[in-house]
Amino acid sequence: MLLTEYRLDLVVQALRIILPLEHPADTTLRYFFQAERIGSNERALVAETVFGVLRHRLFLEHGCGEQHTPRRMALAYWVKFGGYNLRELTPLLKATESEWLAQVKSINTDELSLSIQAELPHWIIEKLREHHDDAEILQLGLSMQQVAGLDLRVNTHLATRAEVLEGLKAEGVTADATPYSPIGIRVKGKPALNKSPIFLGGKFEVQDEGSQLLGFLVAPKRNEMVVDFCAGAGGKSLMLGAMMNSQGRLYALDVSEKRLANLKPRLKRSGLSNLQPQLIAHENDVKVKRLAGKIDRVLVDAPCSGLGTLRRNPDLKFRQSLQSVSELTQKQKNILSSASKLVKKGGRLVYATCSLLHEENQGIVEEFLSTHTEFKLLPAGDIFAQQKIPLVMNEYLQLSPKLQETDGFFAAVMERN
C-alpha cells in the first residue's frame, strides 16, 4: 500500500491514543475508527501497524532510543517488520530520519537481550524461566509475534464440516480442515465472513482450534446436565450445546451482563434450545448453590492473564503485571473451588486457561487436588485418544502457537470419585 502523509498521520493519531494502554487496544481502536470514518484501506493499514507496533514494542523502543514517539515507532515498524524499504518512506521523512532509520534496519536482533528478542517484558521472562530454558522461551516469544490465523468451528447441530467446507469453497473462500479438532476449519487470508449466508444461517462460529479442543475434554453427552462456569460471550457454551445435540440442560453462567448479552444473537443463530444463559453475582451466588452435586460436567475456563493469546492481543503483555497475576490466581482458586461443588459423583470437572504461566495452570490444579481429595486427575492424552483425536498429550492439555499453531491453552481434567 502506498504510504502518504495522510496515512502516516492516521497511524500516529491511533498510536497516540492506544499506546498508553489504559484500555484494551482492540476496543480503543474500534472507537477510533468510529470517530474517524476512514476508508477500508486506511483502516487495514492503521490496524496492522498498531498491532505490529504492540507486537514489536520492545525492539522499537530500543531502536528509537529516548525518542520513541508514535511517529518514530510507526516508521521503525514499517522499515524493520512491515515490508517497506527506505526509498518508499523517503517522501515522508524529516532531514535526520533517513540516517536513523537505516541504523534501525541494520540492527542485528541476535545480539539483543532475550526480553527484546522474545518481545516479552522482564517479569514474564523471569516467570517462564522457573520452568523453561532460554531457548524454549525465545521460540515461544517468536511464535507469539506471528499474526494468528482464522479458525472456524462447525455447528454440528446444523451442518457437517464437509458441508461447510463445500459452502465456503462456493463463496470463493480458501479453507481446510484443522489438524486436530474434528469440527474445525482453518481459513486462509481474512475474508469478511460475517456476511456469509453460511454464517448467518448459524452453521459456523469463529473459534480458535485450541478453544475447540477444550470442548472435547469436557465431552458432554446427550441429556446430561452441564455447566459452563465462566461462559463469557458463550463460544464454548455453543459448542457444548451442539455436542449434546441440543438435548439435556446446559447452563452458561457469567458475572458480566454485557458478555451474556453478546451470546443472545449467537444463540439464536445456533438453533440450540438446551442452552440457558444465567447472570450470577459471584462464584457463590444462590443460583450456583442450587446446582450443587447435580451436574455431570463442569467447564471452568477461568479468568486469567491471557498471555496465551498474545498473537491476537499483544497489548496484554504490557497491561498485565506481577500484581495482576497474583490477584488472578486467588480468583482462580476461589472459582475452581466453588465450581467443583456442582459436580456429582462420577462427574467431570475441566479447569482451563489461555495463560502460559505455571502458577495459573499446574499450580492451581496441584493445590486444588491436594485439598480436594475427592477429585482425581484424568490424563488429557487418554481422553483425546478415546475420541480418536490425533493430539499427543500427557496429563495436561498444553497448546502453543509454536507446536500446534493455536493460541496458548492449558487444561486439566478431573473426576469426582
pLDDT tens column, 186-209: 999 989 899 999 999 999 999 999
Query: Are 97 and 242 members of one domain?
Result: no
Q: Does the residue 61 lie in any domain?
A: yes
Query: Are 253 and 359 members of one domain?
Result: yes
> Final residue of a domain: which of 68, 89, 112?
112
* Long-range CB contacts (within 8 A, 24+) of 104-107: 104/63, 104/64, 104/76, 104/79, 104/80, 105/79, 105/80, 107/59, 107/62, 107/63, 107/80
Block residue for cell numbers 492506544: 18
Q: Does the residue 337 lie in any domain?
A: yes
User: How many angstroms separate the CA atoms of 399 and 308, rounded?
Assistant: 9
User: How many angstroms separate the CA atoms of 162 and 35, rounded?
Assistant: 41
Which candidate in 64, 230, 304, 354 is catalytic?
Answer: 354
Query: How does the average pLDDT of the chain come out, rounded?
Result: 96
Q: Quick one: pLDDT band at residue 1, thresholds 50, 70, 90? A: confident
Q: Does the residue 168 lie in any domain?
A: no
Query: Are 233 and 356 members of one domain?
Result: yes
Block residue for cell numbers 496484554: 316
Residues ≥6 apart with Cβ < 8 Å to 140? 118, 128, 132, 356, 400, 402
Lowest mean pLDDT among 93-97, 197-201, 284-288, 381-385: 93-97
**CA distances (Å), 288 to each of 29, 187, 194, 304, in order?**
37, 38, 35, 21
Residue 25 in this model has a pLDDT that exceeds 90: yes
Q: Does the residue 273 lie in any domain?
A: yes
> Final residue of a domain: which of 59, 81, 112?
112
295-338 pLDDT, tens digit per residue, is 999 999 999 999 999 999 999 999 999 999 999 999 999 999 99
> How many domains does the chain contain in total?
2
Residue 67 in this model has a pLDDT that exceeds 90: no
For residue 181, what pLDDT is reported?
Answer: 98
Question: b/e for 69-88, b at 16 or more Cβ within 10 A?
Answer: ebbbbbbbbbbbbbeeebee
Query: Are 364 and 221 members of one domain?
Result: yes
Q: Does the residue 126 lie in any domain?
A: no
**Residue 142: which of 116, 122, 124, 121 has the closest Cα?**
116
For residue 176, what pLDDT is reported?
Answer: 97
Q: Does the residue 156 lie in any domain?
A: no
Q: What CATH number does the domain containing 411 carry?
A: 3.40.50.150
Query: Are 274 and 405 members of one domain?
Result: yes
Residue 351 phi, psi dihedral angles, 5° rounding = -105, 130
Residue 371 in this model has a pLDDT that exceeds 90: yes
Query: Are 87 and 215 members of one domain?
Result: no
Q: Quick one: pLDDT band at residue 379, thresholds 50, 70, 90? A: very high
252-287 pLDDT, tens digit per residue, is 999 999 999 999 999 999 999 999 999 999 999 999
User: At CA 311, angle to CA 45 and CA 109, rounded to 5?
Assistant: 85
The tally of CA atoms less than 13 A away on the side-chain side of residue 7 is 21
Query: Are 407 and 302 members of one domain?
Result: yes
Cell numbers given for 235: 463460544
Residue 354 bears catalytic tag: yes
Residue 19 in this model has a pLDDT that exceeds 90: yes
Mean pLDDT along residues 214-240: 96
Query: Are 262 and 406 members of one domain?
Result: yes
Q: Quick one: pLDDT band at residue 122, thresholds 50, 70, 90? A: very high
Q: Does the residue 372 lie in any domain?
A: yes
> Final residue of a domain: which of 112, 138, 160?
112
Mean pLDDT along residues 131-143: 97
For residue 37, what pLDDT is reported?
Answer: 87
Residue 96 in this model has a pLDDT that exceeds 90: no
For residue 360, what pLDDT is reported?
Answer: 98
Domain around 269: 209-416
Mean pLDDT along residues 198-224: 97
Mean pLDDT along residues 34-40: 90
**Residue 61: which of 113, 26, 98 has the closest Cα?**
113
Q: Does the residue 139 lie in any domain?
A: no
For residue 378, what pLDDT is reported?
Answer: 98
For residue 314, what pLDDT is reported?
Answer: 97
Residue 184 in this model has a pLDDT that exceeds 90: yes
